[in-house]
Homo-oligomer: A and B are copies of this chain.
Amino acid sequence: MTGPAPTDVHPAWLPSEVFRAIGSRHCLVRGAGRLVDTVFAEVERACAEHGGSVRRDTEGPPPALVLALVAAVGDGGPAELDAALTDLHAVDGGPLGAEGYALARHGEVTVLLADQPAGLLHGLFHLIRLGEAAFGAPHAAQPHRPAMDRRMLDHWDNVDVHPVMGQVERGYAGGSIFWHDGRPRRDRARVRAYARLLAACGINAVAVNNVNVHATEARLLTERLDDVAEIADEFRPYGIRVHLSVTFAAPVVLAGLPTADPLDDAVRAWWAETTRAVYARIPDFGGYVVKADSEGQPGPFSYGRDHADGANLLAEALAPHGGVVHWRAFVYNHRQDWRDRSTDRARAAFDHFAPLDGRFRGNVIVQVKHGPLDFQTREPVSPVITAMPATLKAVEFQATQEYTGQQRHVCYLAPWWSEVLRFGWGDDGRTVADVAADGGGLVAVSNVGDDPFWTGHPLAQANLYAFGRLAWDPRLRPAELLDEWIELTFHPETSADPDLLRRTLHEIMDDSWRTYERYTAPLGVGFMVRPGHHYGPDVDGYEYTPWGTYHFADRDGVGVDRTRATGTGFTAQYPRPWSRVYESSVTCPDELLLFFHHVPYEHVLHSGRTVIQHIYDTHFDGVAEVEAACLRWKPLVGLVDAAVHARVTERLDEQLRCAREWRDQLNAYFHRKSGVPDAYGRPLH
Enumerate chain A interface residues (CB-CB to B < 8 A).
338-339, 537-541, 544, 553-556, 661, 664-665, 668-669, 671-675, 685
Contacts and interface: CB of A to CB of B under 8 A. Distances in A.
Given A539-B540, A540-B539, A544-B665, A672 B339 contact: no
Given A339-B685, A664-B339, A674 B540 contact: no
Given A540-B539, A544-B668, A675 B339 contact: no
B673 A554 contact: yes
A661 B543 CA distance: 13
Contacts of A544: 537-538, 661, 664-665, 668-669
A539 B544 CA distance: 10
A634 to B, nearest CB: 26
Contact of A554 (B554, B556, B672): B672
Nearest to A163: B163
A646 to B, nearest CB: 25
A527 to B, nearest CB: 14
Which of A538, A556, A661: most chain B CB closer than 10 A? A538
B675 A555 contact: yes
Contacts of A661: 544
Nearest to A540: B540
Contacts of A664: 339, 544
A623 to B, nearest CB: 14
A554 B685 contact: no
B540 A675 contact: no
A139 to B, nearest CB: 60
B538 A675 contact: no
A531 to B, nearest CB: 8
Contacts of A674: 555
A553 B675 CA distance: 12
A342 to B, nearest CB: 13
A445 to B, nearest CB: 26
Given A538-B540, A540-B540, A665-B544, A554 B675 contact: yes
A556 B664 CA distance: 20
Given A539-B540, A540-B540, A673 B673 contact: yes
B537 A675 contact: no
Contact of A556 (B540, B665, B675, B685): B675
Contacts of A672: 553-555, 673
A685 B544 CA distance: 11
Given A540-B669, A555-B673, A672-B673, 20 more contacts: A338-B685, A339-B668, A339-B685, A538-B540, A538-B541, A538-B544, A539-B540, A540-B540, A541-B541, A544-B661, A544-B664, A544-B665, A544-B668, A553-B672, A554-B671, A554-B673, A554-B675, A555-B555, A555-B672, A673-B673
A299 B527 CA distance: 40
Contacts of A554: 671-673, 675
Closest 10 CB pairs of A and B: A554-B672, A555-B555, A544-B665, A540-B540, A339-B685, A555-B675, A555-B673, A339-B664, A673-B673, A555-B672
Contacts of A668: 339, 544
Nearest to A536: B544
A417 B314 CA distance: 62
A674 B537 CA distance: 23
Nearest to A684: B339
Most B-side CB within 10 Å, residue of A339, A537, A556: A339
Contacts of A540: 538-540, 669
Contacts of A669: 540, 544
Contacts of A339: 664, 668, 685
Nearest to A665: B544
A554 B668 CA distance: 9
Nearest to A544: B665
Residue of A539, A554, A673 with highest tally of chain B CB at under 10 A? A554
A226 to B, nearest CB: 32
Nearest to A671: B554
6 contacts: A339-B668, A540-B540, A544-B669, A554-B672, A555-B555, A555-B675
Nearest to A532: B532
Contacts of A671: 554
Contacts of A673: 554-555, 672-673
Contacts of A541: 538, 541
Contacts of A539: 540
Contacts of A537: 544
A141 to B, nearest CB: 60
A494 to B, nearest CB: 44
